[in-house]
A and B are shown apart, each in its own frame.
Chain A
Amino acid sequence: MINNQRHPSSFRDPSGYVINDQGIFKRVINPIYFKQYSSLKDSGFFDKLFNNNLLIPHSEELSTESKIIIIPEQIPFITYPYEWCFLQYKEAALLTLKIQKYALDHNYSLKDASAFNVTFHNGQAVFIDTLSFDFYRENEPWRAYKQFIAHFLGPLLLAYYHGAQSLKLLSNFIDGIPIKQLASMLPYKTKLNPFLYSNVHLLAKFEDKHNDDYEGKSKKTTLSKKAQLNIITTLYDYIKKMSLKEHSEWGDYYTKMNYSDEAFKLKSKIINTWANTIKPKTVIDVGGNDGTFLRLLNQDIEQALVCDVDNNAVDFNYKKVKTNKETYMLPFVLDVLNPSPSLGFNNKERTSFIERIKVYEPQLTLALAVIHHITLTGNVTFNMSAEFFAKFSKYLIIEFPKPGDSWVERLLNTKGEFKDHFNFYNVKNFESAFLQNFDLVEKTEITNTKRVMYFLKRK
C-alpha cells in the first residue's frame, strides 16, 4: 500500500483517483476501468492523443490486479476556468469538442465535459482527465452534452452578451451554469437563432419538463452517431467564430501610459540588471498586463506566470503566446483585491490562488505599476500589501509611483473630499511598511518620471 494523499478534488469518478505521492501527482485506476484503460492503451488511442498534444502524456508506473498507477507529465501551475481569459476559455471548449469528435471517430466517447478537465500547459490548452474516456455505445446520445453547455457554451455566451467578467461565474457554479438560469440571462433575440434556441432555450425547457422524473428509470433515448457528430460540429463552428465585442475598444496600453520611450527602456534595463543577479527560472508578473515587460526580460525563464485583472490584457497576451508559439508563458486573469478562493466540497476541491502560488514559489515576483491601484483603488494599506507580496517569492521587484505621478493623481482625485485621508501614500510610508517584510537590495529612480523601482529580498 502506498502511503500517500488522495487529492481532495478527486472523488467524483469511480474509475480512479489522483494521489499526491510526495509532491508528484499520480493517477490510480480502479479495476472497474481496466477494460477501458487497456483498450485505450492497446489501440494506440492514448498515443495519438499525446502526439497531437491533446491529452497530458503519462507513463505507467504499476500494474497489478487491484490497481494500475500512471504518472502524468507534471503541470507546475494549475489555472482554473474562472481564471481564464475569453480566448483561453474558447480554446478549452474547442479542445473538448475536438477530443470528443476524435473519440467518436475511434469508437470512444467522453463521459464528462467539465471545464476543470482542461488546463493550460506549454502555451496551450491540454486535457488532463485521462479517465474521461469510455466506449461509445451504438446510438447513444452524448451523456456529457448538458455538462458541455453548462461548463463551456454557457459561460462563453454570457461573456459575449454581458462581458468577460461573466467567466468568473464558474467560481460559484463549479458544476456549470444551471441551464435554466443561463437561458433566462440571454437576450430575447437569441431565441430567434436556431442554434442558440435549440442548444440553450429548448434544452432548458426539456430539462425543466423532465425535472420531476424521480423514478430514476432513465428512458432509453437514441441518437445516431452521425447526428451526434452534427451537434459537435455545429458547436465547434459556432464557438470558433465567437469573439468579444470589447476587443475592438482596446488600444495599445503602452501608448496610453505616461511613459516616454526612454523611461520605458530604462525601466526594462533596471529590471534586467537586477534579475540577472539572481537568474530566476520562474517568475510571476502581478498586474503584468499583456506581458510586455516579461518579454523584455532576457533571462532563461522556464515558466512565467502573468496575471492581470483585465480580461482584454490577458486575451492580448494569450494571443501573443499563440502566435509566437511561446511555451513558457502562462497568462491568466486574477484580481489582486480578490484572488481565487478555495472552493468545492470541504473547501478543498479547488485550491486558492494564494495556496497555489505558495507551493509554486516563483523565484522572482514583479509588481510593476500596480501598488498605486492596490492602495488607492482598493484602499489596502502598505502593511497589508507587503504581507501579501511576501507570500509569493524570495525576491520582489516593485515599482512605486510617487504622488505627483499622473495616474496617482487621477486615482487620488476620484477620492473627492476623502483625498486627504490618503496622505499616507508616499515613499516614506511605503518603505517603512515593505522593509518590515523585506530587506532592501537596491532602489533607483526612473529618471524623468515620478516612479521609483525597488529590488527587495524577503526576510
Chain B
Amino acid sequence: MHFLYFDPGLGAMIAQAIVAAVAGVVLFSKGLMFKIKSFLGLVKNDDDLFDDIDVKESDIENKNTGDK
C-alpha cells in the first residue's frame, strides 16, 4: 500500500516530465562540452569540498577519524 502524508503536488508530478527532458539536454550538452574540452586539454581538476553524486561503495567501516 502506498501512504502519502503530504501533497506532492499534481502540478509538480506532471512538470517532472518536462524538467527531466530539459535535464537530459543539459546533461547531454555538458557531456559533449566535457569531451571537447578534454580533447583540447582544457579540463582542470577543481579541488571541491564535495565529491560527485555517486556514493563510493565501501562496505568497510568508513568512520570519521578527525582530530579532537
Contacts and interface: CB of A to CB of B under 8 A. Distances in A.
Interface of A: 12-15, 32, 47-48, 51-54, 87, 90-91, 94, 97-98, 101-102, 111-112, 122-124, 134, 137, 141-147, 149, 179, 194-195, 197-199, 202-203, 205-211, 213, 218-219, 221, 223, 227-228, 230-234, 236-237, 240, 300-302, 319, 322-328
Contacts of A102: 55
B16 to A, nearest CB: 4
A233 B61 CA distance: 27
Contacts of B65: 325
Interface residues of B, number: 47
Given A209-B11, A234-B23, A237-B30, 11 more contacts: A12-B5, A48-B59, A52-B58, A142-B16, A194-B25, A195-B22, A199-B19, A211-B11, A236-B52, A323-B49, A325-B67
A112 B6 contact: yes
B12 A145 contact: yes
B19 to A, nearest CB: 5
A52 B56 contact: yes
A277 B24 CA distance: 61
Contact of B3 (A32, A52, A221): A32
Contacts of B52: 236, 240
B60 interface: yes
B11 A327 contact: no
B26 A300 contact: no
A230 B53 contact: no
B68 interface: yes
B7 to A, nearest CB: 9
Contact of B54 (A48, A101, A123, A208): A101
Contact of B22 (A32, A145, A194): A194
Given A112-B6, A227-B24, A326-B67, A202 B15 contact: yes
B66 interface: yes
B53 A325 contact: no
Contacts of B26: 194-195, 234
Interface in B10-68: 10-27, 30, 48-50, 52-68
